[in-house]
Every structure is written in C-alpha cells, then in structure tokens.
Amino acid sequence: MLRSYAAAGLLVPTAVDESSGYRYYSPGQLLQARIVALLRQAQIGIDEIAGFFDNPDAFQLDRWDRQIVSESTARRQALAQARAALAIGRAAPPTQSENSRKGSAVTHTFVTGTATHIGGRDSNQDAWLVSDGLFAVADGLGGLQDGEVASRLTLDTFDAAFTADRTVSGLLGACREANRAVWRQANGQDATMGSTLAVLAMTSDAAAIVLHVGDSRLYRLRNGRLEQLTHDHTVIADLMRAGELSESDAQTHPYRNVLTRAIGVAPEVDIDHSGASCEPGDRFVLCSDGLFKVLSTDELKVMLASEVEPQRSADQLVANAVKREAEDNVTAVIIDVH
Ligand code: MG
C-alpha cells in the first residue's frame, strides 16, 4: 500500500535501508498519512490525493463533497426507478411500538399513514419522511429531476442530522444542514433547485416542535377543530396577512405560486419554528400544496374526522385531491397521537 502511495508521490520515505529494504518516515509525515487514510476512506483516488497535496485548498474538498453527493443521488435515483419499475412502494411506516418517543415530559406513541400521488405532473417531486419521532413533507422545486433530488436530499440530510442531535438547536441545525446540502447540489447557483420543508419533531429538550420553510403545511385536528399550525411563505400569504389581498383575489393573483422562502435557494435560510401542543387524541396532518389547493379547510376537516384509521385517511385525502384533477403532486402524512 505504502509503495503504491510512494509511486504516486505520496508519503515518500525519507530514507530506505538498502540491505533490509526498511523504509523510514519522518514524524512530520504522520499527519499526511492520517489525511491520506481519511481521503482514501472517502474513496478519493490515490492520484487525485497526490495532486491535492501539491496545492491543498477548500475548493477541491468542496468539489469532492459535491461529487459524493451527486453520486449518491444518482444511485438513489436508480434505486427509485427500480422500485417504480417493480411497482413496489415504500415499506410500511414504523409500527406503533417502534415509534414512541419521549419528549421533555411525556411519552407519546404515534400511528401514521402516508400517501403521495404524481397528480397531473410528469414526475413526483414531493417526498415524505416518517422516522423516529420525526415526521416531514418536502415539495421539490426545479426542473424535472432537480425537484425530486432537492426534496429527497432535504429529507435525507435533515433526518441524519436530527438523529445525531435531537435537541431544538439540533433540529434547527438539521434544517440549515439540509439547506447547505441542496445549495451545494445546485452548485451555488441561485434558485436552480430547492424544496419546501414542513416538520413535526419530538425533541429531547422541548417536546413537540413544528418547523417549516415554504408552503407545505402542518394542521392539527383536536376535538373536531382543525387548526393550521404553519403559515405559508408565499407572496400572496404575506399580502393577505398584511390585509392587502382578499382570499378570492389570491386565487388569480399572478404571483400565487411564488414562494418567499425555500430550502437550498440561497446559502442561508430563514426558518420558522415553534412549540406545538401534542396530546393523545390529536391528529396531525403534514401536506404539500397540491392537497390544500384543491381541498378546502372544511373539506379537509370533514375527511380527517370521518376516517379513524390513519393510513386509510391519508389514502382518502390524496385520492379525493386527485379526483379534483389536482395539477400538482399531492402528499399527505397523518400522525395520530396516542
Ligand atoms: Mg407542490
């Protein structure tokens, strides 16, 4: 191994004993040896590493980072295409016993249902996540494949980072991490790809937190009352909050689809988060705009209240949206609290 490194100009021994062939290395080469080992672990080629030591800089590390993300994304896309070709959906969400999570004070058990549909689009750029005490929907923005990559990358990065640090600050850090991952994937070009993100998370220090960027939503059904716990980051929502636009005018406003915030469209992201009261009997719904743009809040409430089983409820919501000829992708994640 060391001989092949030396052949590439890496870790050249300071001296070689001619009779025994023993190779001597200086103490200063230990750091280089450690860096070479780490870069090899990242599967960087020996020749590339040798070139890197001629002029080590952050740009090359960033290039490798992007390459790794893009290779992994390409592998995930191929896997997703294989899944689609086999017509095999995702495995069932974690069962009741697997998905209990202690917040700061109480232990909740969650039973979930998930459904998504391509709607009238050519690809489904929505993605959902049901993980350990972590539930999310992301709606990708960008060209045909870019949106799919952005929403999946957002959720995968978010999930991994939050799993490593389940505090509220870890949750915000996970969102920033997801933002950086998509921004890097877009090669730092403004707004070529992005994603919304709406999350309900059980943190270790403050129980349930709702976090969102963009116009995917979280609702809570409690005692027959449906409450929207997020406010859309869109031009029309801002105008309506300011009292400058009526709900009926908003339907035809030229900027009705324009987001004011999204994951991955700039190096930094503004995040909204707050505590969410979460009690046994509550039903939470995370959804993409494809759902609430064709079903009114009243219709949502009636449908959510009429079906007890969360998977059937998610299926029903999405099927009803599709029946209305939803132009957009439609996704719903139902979380029942026990
Ligand atoms: Mg959408």
pLDDT of res. 96: 43
Q: Measured in angstroms, how far is the CA atom of residue 330 from the centroid of ligand 1?
A: 7
Return the CATH architecture of domain 2-56: Orthogonal Bundle (1.10)
Q: Measured in angstroms, how far is the CA atom of residue 134 from the centroid of ligand 1?
A: 21
Q: Measured in angstroms, how far is the CA atom of residue 289 from the centroid of ligand 1?
A: 5
Q: Measured in angstroms, how far is the CA atom of residue 281 from the centroid of ligand 1?
A: 29
pLDDT of res. 250: 83
Q: Measured in angstroms, how far is the CA atom of residue 60 from the centroid of ligand 1?
A: 35
Q: How many CB atoms lie within 10 A of CB 53?
A: 15
Q: Measured in angstroms, how far is the CA atom of residue 196 from the centroid of ligand 1?
A: 9
* DSSP codes, 231-282: ---BHHHHHHHTTSS-HHHHTT-TTTT-BS--BTSSSS---EEEE----TT-
Domain 96-337 has CATH 3.40.1010.10: no
Q: Measured in angstroms, how far is the CA atom of residue 311 from the centroid of ligand 1?
A: 21
Tell me which residues of the chain have a pLDDT lower than 50. 93-98, 105
Q: Measured in angstroms, how far is the CA atom of residue 29 from the centroid of ligand 1?
A: 53
* DSSP codes, 11-52: S--SEE-TTT--EE--TTHHHHHHHHHHHHHTT--HHHHHHH
Q: Rounded distance, CA 19 to CA 159, Å?
A: 56
Read off the tokens for 165.
Answer: 């640090």
Q: How many CB atoms lie within 10 A of CB 41?
A: 8
Q: For the chain, what is the largest distance between any 2 Cα atoms, rounded to a whole number of angstroms?
A: 90
Domain ranges in the chain are 2-56, 96-337
Q: Measured in angstroms, how far is the CA atom of residue 293 from the centroid of ligand 1?
A: 9
Q: Rounded distance, CA 268 to CA 271, Å?
A: 10
Q: Measured in angstroms, how far is the CA atom of residue 204 from the centroid of ligand 1?
A: 31
Which are the contacts of 229, defined by CB distance < 8 A and separation ≥ 6? 210, 217, 218, 219, 220, 274, 276
Q: Measured in angstroms, how far is the CA atom of residue 195 from the centroid of ligand 1?
A: 9
Q: Measured in angstroms, how far is the CA atom of residue 168 from the centroid of ligand 1?
A: 27
Q: What are the pLDDT digits (tens) for 83-117?
A: 666 766 555 544 443 456 655 545 789 999 999 99
CA distances from 208 to 16, 137, 184, 285, 330 (A): 63, 16, 30, 14, 25
* pTM attached to this predicted model: 0.71
Q: Measured in angstroms, how far is the CA atom of residue 306 from the centroid of ligand 1?
A: 25
pLDDT of res. 304: 96
- DSSP3 helix / strand / coil % (the chain, rounded to 5): 40, 25, 35
Q: Measured in angstroms, how far is the CA atom of residue 288 from the centroid of ligand 1?
A: 6
Side chain identity, residue 189: Q
Q: Measured in angstroms, how far is the CA atom of residue 97 from the centroid of ligand 1?
A: 32
Q: What are the pLDDT digits (tens) for 210-243?
A: 999 999 999 999 999 999 999 999 999 988 888 8
Q: Measured in angstroms, how far is the CA atom of residue 260 from the centroid of ligand 1?
A: 14
